[in-house]
Amino acid sequence: MQRELMERIRALMDKGVADQVLAWKRGEFFYDTEPAILTKDELGEMVYDSFCGPNLSKYLIKEMPKIENKILALIKPCDSYSLNQLITEHRIDRDKVYVIGVGCKGKIDVDKIRAKGVSGITGVDENGDKITVHTLYGDTTLDRKDVLLGKCLFCKGKEHRIADETVGESEDTSEGSDRFEMVKKLEQMTPDERFSFWRKELSKCIRCNACRNVCPACSCVKCVFDNPNTGVQNKAAANEFEENLFHIIRAYHVAGRCTDCGECSRVCPQGIPLHLLNRKFISDINELYGTYQAGECAGQRHPLIDYTQEDSEPSIVHERGNNG
Amino acid sequence: MPMNQEWKPKIVAFCCNWCSYAGADLAGSSRLSYPADVKIIRIPCSCRLNPLFILRAFQRGADGVILCGCHPGDCHYSTGNYYARRRMTALFGMLSYLGIDSRRTRVEWVSAAEGAKFAETMNDFAKTIYALGENVKLEDLRCKEN
Ligand code: SF4
Ligand code: SF4
Ligand code: FES
């Protein structure tokens, strides 16, 4: 598929559609991919394989002022939601992007391979729903679905919500999973259990800000957490209060705009399940204001910048009980 | 806090300038009593309330935070309180999800003519907070006295 994609990009560039492409290239290790803006001469560096988890949509923002013609962008089905959301927020100019929707069969999480006790990984071969991991100590065969990224297991569907053309095939990876299952489980715990669950998770945070930086919804030019006048600008969370503060505000600022792309949890070096915070907002919004999916199409007005006169009062949260 | 002194909840009330702040005034001039530990902060409209303000109030030692604004439909800026209503619902839901009692936060609509309602609301809120006790789950020890 990589070759097919590369040929298509080259053809588009030859036609003069664009002279750059936003794609993935190899990082330090074979399982690392990083976003890259490539010209026709650099196209050889491009990769598209099962390690292309990163969502590229956000990287278009910085390119906008530089683009005269158009830029090609490789967008997976899940990334297409983020792209729509950014277009809605006027961060990306639709007319400057030629979107190539790339097929996706789920991306692999190398940490999950390691968690199976496999070390010294030198390469991965795929055949159908099995993968063969080559290591310094011999080969191991694993089920592909056991090592998919967490976000792929809750994929919203393999249809591109925005694309000028699509290349390659997709395969369902969510198998009817319920993305709110864990949210519901937490809601049913006692408040103290919930509190200690989150204490245990959030106290791992080292405030590297990776979750914020990777988030396509978190695209403010100046973030509250970078503003020394707010008193919340901290490089390391000094105590429990700051851990709570950072995480409540990070999730709150993207509430209604979060497409549940799962990038925050993917990049967290501490493995904090940040998507569970985002999904709480999504599930509350769905319940109180009607089912809503951010980024489903461009131009939507999200529920937290909208209202009806009949909205429930905030006391509904107290009435739900199991509160404290 | 010295041992012999009874604990009293500290409450921060954010009041919108056009209704609830005037309501608080009326409560005062009608000599209605409400707890002295309620600290009122005037904001231009209920929708000015940034969730950060609420968290900061807790950080600085508040045990409860209440937002008062014009009744839905009466906002001086027409729709501010409708937005505030949704935002606060979302925030309270998140607090409760983190295991923090959302009853430490409340939203109440109080008009300029409702001095009595203002006093009642504050009394009732103070009672709730008194029952919940000191805020420990969202405290910042660096901001505590002694
Ligand atoms: S990525 Fe993880 S460790 Fe880094 S700031 Fe976010 S939650 Fe904290
Ligand atoms: S955390 Fe909030 S202020 Fe910072 S970039 Fe994200 S949305 Fe913007
Ligand atoms: S002015 Fe009072 S709520 Fe908007």
**How would residue A1 be classed by pLDDT, with cut points 50, 70 and 90?**
confident
CATH class for the region spanning B11-141: alpha beta
**Is A229 a residue whose pLDDT tops 80?**
no
Find the mean pLDDT for residues A169-196: 93
Find the mean pLDDT for residues A198-214: 93
Expressed in angstroms and rounded, the spacing between residue A257 Cα and the centre of ligand 2 is: 12
C-alpha distances out from residue A174 to A1, A80, A151, A276, Å: 22, 17, 9, 17
Chain A within 8 Å of B101 (Cβ-Cβ)? yes
Q: What angle do CA A213, A214, A217 make, to 5 degrees?
A: 90
**How would residue A158 be classed by pLDDT, with cut points 50, 70 and 90?**
very high
Find the mean pLDDT for residues A71-81: 97
Cβ atoms within 10 Å of A175's Cβ, excluding its own: 9
User: Which contacts qualify for B117-123: CB closer than 8 Å, 24 or more apart?
Assistant: B117/B23, B118/B20, B118/B23, B118/B24, B118/B26, B118/B27, B118/B32, B118/B34, B118/B68, B119/B27, B119/B32, B119/B33, B119/B34, B121/B66, B121/B68, B122/B11, B122/B13, B122/B34, B122/B35, B122/B38, B122/B66, B123/B34, B123/B35
Whose CA is closest to A296, among A255, A261, A246, A247? A261
Mutation choice for A interface testing from B14, B53, B54, B96 by most A CBs within 10 A? B96
pLDDT (tens digit per residue) in A8-46: 999 999 999 999 999 999 999 999 999 999 999 999 999
Chain B within 8 Å of A220 (Cβ-Cβ)? no
Q: What angle do CA A137, A143, A148 make, to 5 degrees?
A: 100
pLDDT (tens digit per residue) in B31-60: 999 999 899 999 999 999 999 999 999 999
Distance from CA of A306 to the nearest CA of B (A): 7
Weakest mean pLDDT among A35-39, A219-223, B69-73: A219-223
> What is the predicted pLDDT for the residue at A323?
74
Separation of alpha carbons A84 and A58, rounded Å: 11
Q: What φ, ψ does residue B115 adopt, rounded to 5°? A: -55, -40
Whose CA is closest to A74, among A48, A51, A42? A48
**How would residue A150 be classed by pLDDT, with cut points 50, 70 and 90?**
very high
Expressed in angstroms and rounded, the spacing between residue A250 Cα and the centre of ligand 2 is: 6
Separation of alpha carbons A68 and A87, rounded Å: 18
Specify the residue for token string 């010295």.
B2
State if residue A248 touches ligand 2 by the CB under 6 angstroms criterion.
no
Cβ atoms within 10 Å of A139's Cβ, excluding its own: 12
Closest CB to B101: pick one of A238, A281, A324. Answer: A324
**Is B5 a residue whose pLDDT tops 80?**
no
E strand map for chain A: 20-26, 33-39, 46-47, 71-75, 97-102, 121-127, 130-135, 138-143, 165-167
pLDDT (tens digit per residue) in A58-70: 999 999 999 988 9
Whose CA is closest to A146, among A101, A174, A113? A113
Which residue's C-alpha comes closest to atom 2 of ligand 1? A268
> Would you say A238 and A246 are in contact if contact means Cβ atoms under 8 Å apart?
no
Distance from CA of A203 to the nearest CA of B (A): 13
Chain A within 8 Å of B99 (Cβ-Cβ)? yes
| Average pLDDT in chain A | 93
The ipTM (two decimal places) reads 0.92
> What is the predicted pLDDT for the residue at B3?
58
Whose CA is closest to A191, among B19, B96, B88, B104? B96
Q: Provide the whole-model pTM.
A: 0.92
Closest CB to B89: pick one of A230, A245, A314. Answer: A314
Two tokens, residue A235: 């490089």
Q: Which atom of ligand 3 is nearest to the CA of B69?
A: 3
Expressed in angstroms and rounded, the spacing between residue A25 Cα and the centre of ligand 1 is: 24
State if residue A214 touches ligand 1 by the CB under 6 angstroms criterion.
no
Expressed in angstroms and rounded, the spacing between residue A280 Cα and the centre of ligand 2 is: 18
Task: Give A-chain residues touching B82 at CB under 8 angstroms.
Answer: 307-309, 311
Whose CA is closest to A101, among A160, A33, A156? A160
Separation of alpha carbons A296 and A312, rounded Å: 25
Which residues of chain A from 152 to 211 reach within 8 Å of chain B, CB to CB? 186-187, 191-198
CB contact under 8 A, B55 and A248: yes
Q: Which atom of ligand 2 is nearest to the CA of A215?
A: 6
**Is A126 a residue whose pLDDT tops 60?**
yes
**How would residue B4 be classed by pLDDT, with cut points 50, 70 and 90?**
low
Find the mean pLDDT for residues B13-34: 95
Closest CB to B99: pick one of A195, A255, A317. Answer: A195
Whose CA is closest to B66, among B99, B97, B98, B102? B102
Binding pocket residue ranges, ligand 3, CB within 6 Å: B 16, 18-19, 45-46, 69-70, 75-77, 80-81
* Radius of gyration, CA atoms only, chain A: 21
Distance from CA of A204 to the nearest CA of B (A): 15
CB contact under 8 A, A192 and B86: no
Distance from CA of B49 to the nearest CA of A (A): 13
> What is the predicted pLDDT for the residue at B143?
83
